[in-house]
Structure 1
């Protein structure tokens, strides 16, 4: 019998001394691989070539085993050759009546046929993993969107009409727009029109004070606007992938302003925009120095009262983890939990799952490792691709071909005011929460404790939005399955952002609402939707009513000062962190 050679064995020691590179080589090789992939990622827009190759090979391998499907695809164009013009799927690119005239209608018909062809070629292939099917279908649609007849002068009747009517001035104006955008991009300037939406001047203007600051957050306490207030304060955790003021936009659509107007004492977390020095901040830091530090401050400023915790998007995921951690510690400071477009279970995470695979995350980590964070442009590119027909190609046609400019407004300006993500935190989030789904599976550890969502017995108010491609409402609905308390669920029209910013008074808003009592049979999302009562207007009204019913204590006189001796006011809202570029 021979003893195996290990790094600790005498033989290994002698070989290492003879060749000191023997045991260093693997580390050096790994470092070289990481450096190479980090450099390469800047030329592949953060998408891993290996992952795309793996997906393509898996798709082709399974498709070649389906001769019936291949035969169907071969004759599909012929079977639709003489079809009359059809509207096809709802597509804003072709809503003009000009597209219904020949030959433009044929271009649209061919485009819809190409979409149907590639959907049939990539979806429901027997044996093909759903993740691979989603990815290859996504790639196919990206190519189709780029080749849409709406994108080109010769195949777009609206562009040709604009050329005739303006004598080509639309093209001249489009060139001016292109040059302006290119110049702003290379010089790092903000998009045109954003200067009209500066936090503290025209947006994020609800009066308040920063009452706590550390190296990760500022905590803002807002001034009361009523003579008396609800006893329990509201603490809001926004996502750190965005700046908080989406919830405090212009005065007419600020959720914060509206809440304080209803008599709530509101606290808001404003996250620091991290840089390279913050590369090693992880989920424990965001929990300890973010969510928990904010809760400690609010509990101290409003003593003797439980807190209504609310979270939006990633902030909602963190709020769920905080609630589960407090349950383990038998800490009962929370009165309720509200979740806005927030997921805890990532098994059906929507279109973003295309970008979150084992191959993609490993590649992305090497990109982030080199610079210490995920850059704003890299994130913006991924979100643009999710809705490329609307957010990219339609923008190119409007601005550069038609020579028009969409007027900047508050939500669009906020969307362009992006933030970065630290290397360690984003890696942990993608690997443990998104890929491994560790929180839902009951083995997620934070601040030394294993937390499980089943331990959350708080009443929950959850909001999903009908057109959400970041947190699909059926995924948000799963909060019914993994928490143990009563759940009130609201489904509102709109998308991930516009569905949440849904101020009262708008006639184009509606929502469905129903409560599920703990211990009663659970409905599927679609059965819930079919039976839930629906209402015209803003879900904010339903949430305010729900918050009021959670408050067991009588309303109290409004506070006369911000903070307290331990947490004195530092400066006026919106603070410093929101201004970080």
Structure 2
């Protein structure tokens, strides 16, 4: 039965008044927030080494040491490590520290045109290699555990293959290995980025890098936004409105937006390798990817490997991560698929308990 017109109008007026009140309360909350209040990557850490714009940090311990082997977090160049340390209750970093892990971090800084000639060779065989040696000198260990995230996982995979004598364990999260594994995947939405990357004309990639020296962070931000256009269109006028009067939820929203907006430029030479040799030519999984004059053979990875990926990842399709299992030389290999998205794996309140249980337990079992 249709609601009488007068009653429906009164209901509309009531809802409108409530929404106006919510909006005004939200504006009062927003008015009291400053940029310094939206703190990301705030877990205390000490600078240990700086080379060029790259910095090595050691996090301050918060619990009794439970895993002796130091763990080095390596994030990618297309974003900032702060995703893994968004806020106290959504922080992989804080959770690992609470489990007694000696945690280190490489911060790539913000490359610009001056870094246009830096290649993946430099990042893997120079910056990561020097960081590993420094950690070993500081701690007295002869090996470290590498924890790679996304593109950083590709860096750590390459390092583990080229320098297996320095790597105790390899932990990978949302890491692409076979960049063409999604081609026959019926869930095409999970491979839109791969499809777009493969469709780029190699000469267009060269033109952009030659002209700008970098792959601009703003450019990649727009690409990621276009992958989920409805989410991008509605988050400010629908999602934000729903939470604007709840300060805790609003701060989580703002921290996510701050991380999304803080996307550095990608060094040009490394970008060419990333787009052309990996996304387009798929050299890594085919044992054709070369760094510093040496082929990266995945079969050389003989240490324990933990491979965690997200089943709902729209940036790195699960098939691209799973491909690692049949390529490495190690017999101690574990895959952990989790029902989250690319970012949700790290910032979802539901994923924290699972992720922080899996990694420390796996490391403790191999910490002889």
The TM-score with structure 1 as length reference comes to 0.53
- Flag structure 2 segments of 5+ consecutive residues without an equivalent: 3-10, 183-190
For residues 367 and 304 of structure 1, what CA distance do their matches in structure 2 show? 43
Counterparts in 2 of 1:475 and 1:366: CA distance versus 1, 3 Å: same
Counterparts in 2 of 1:362 and 1:541: CA distance versus 1, 3 Å: same
For residues 162 and 289 of structure 1, what CA distance do their matches in structure 2 show? 64
Q: Verify the 8 A CA contact 1:205 1:250 in the aligned structure 2.
A: yes
In the other structure, the counterpart of 2:346 is: 500
Greater share of strand: 2
Counterparts in 2 of 1:228 and 1:397: CA distance versus 1, 3 Å: closer
2:196 aligned to 329, 351, 355, which one? 355
Alpha-carbon deviation of 1:254? 1.7
Larger deviation: 451-460 or 315-324? 451-460
For residues 127 and 300 of structure 2, what CA distance do their matches in structure 1 show? 22
Alpha-carbon deviation of 1:379? 0.6
Structure with the bigger RCO (C-alpha within 8 Å, sep 6+) is 2
Alpha-carbon deviation of 1:166? 4.3
Counterparts in 2 of 1:404 and 1:450: CA distance versus 1, 3 Å: closer
Superposition pairs of residues 422-433 of structure 1, within 5 angstroms: 422-433=267-278
For residues 498 and 399 of structure 1, what CA distance do their matches in structure 2 show? 16
In the other structure, the counterpart of 1:210 is: 47
Alpha-carbon deviation of 1:542? 1.5
Q: Verify the 8 A CA contact 2:125 2:159 in the aligned structure 1.
A: no
Superposition pairs of residues 64-75 of structure 1, within 5 angstroms: none
Alpha-carbon deviation of 1:335? 0.9
For residues 375 and 315 of structure 1, what CA distance do their matches in structure 2 show? 18
For residues 281 and 267 of structure 2, what CA distance do their matches in structure 1 show? 20
Q: Is the aligned partner of 1:491 residue 2:337? A: yes
For residues 404 and 546 of structure 1, what CA distance do their matches in structure 2 show? 37
In the other structure, the counterpart of 2:123 is: 286
Q: Is the aligned partner of 1:455 residue 2:300? A: yes
For residues 304 and 64 of structure 2, what CA distance do their matches in structure 1 show? 28
Alpha-carbon deviation of 1:318? 0.5
Counterparts in 2 of 1:162 and 1:270: CA distance versus 1, 3 Å: farther
- Flag structure 1 segments of 5+ consecutive residues without an equivalent: 1-100, 102-160, 178-191, 511-536, 553-581
Counterparts in 2 of 1:367 and 1:194: CA distance versus 1, 3 Å: farther
Describe the superposition over 1:51-81 as per-residue Cα deviations: whole angstroms up to 9, x where unpaired. xxxxxxxxxxxxxxxxxxxxxxxxxxxxxxx
1:375 aligned to 216, 228, 234, which one? 216
Counterparts in 2 of 1:231 and 1:437: CA distance versus 1, 3 Å: same
Counterparts in 2 of 1:499 and 1:162: CA distance versus 1, 3 Å: farther
In the other structure, the counterpart of 2:114 is: 277
Superposition pairs of residues 141-290 of structure 1, within 5 angstroms: 166=16, 195-198=35-38, 202-290=39-127
Name the SS of the counterpart of 2:347 in structure 1. Answer: coil
Q: Is the aligned partner of 1:543 residue 2:359? A: yes
Counterparts in 2 of 1:541 and 1:424: CA distance versus 1, 3 Å: same
Name the SS of the counterpart of 2:68 in structure 1. Answer: coil
For residues 236 and 42 of structure 2, what CA distance do their matches in structure 1 show? 33
Describe the superposition over 1:322-360 as per-residue Cα deviations: whole angstroms up to 9, x where unpaired. 011114xxxx12111000100111113522122213544
Q: Verify the 8 A CA contact 1:276 1:373 in the aligned structure 2.
A: yes
- Structure 1 or 2, whichever has the larger Rg, is 1
Superposition pairs of residues 522-537 of structure 1, within 5 angstroms: 537=353
| Total equivalences in the alignment | 334
Q: Verify the 8 A CA contact 1:216 1:290 in the aligned structure 2.
A: no
In the other structure, the counterpart of 2:263 is: 418
Q: Is the aligned partner of 1:336 residue 2:169? A: yes
Alpha-carbon deviation of 1:162? 7.8
C-alpha RMSD over aligned residues: 2.8
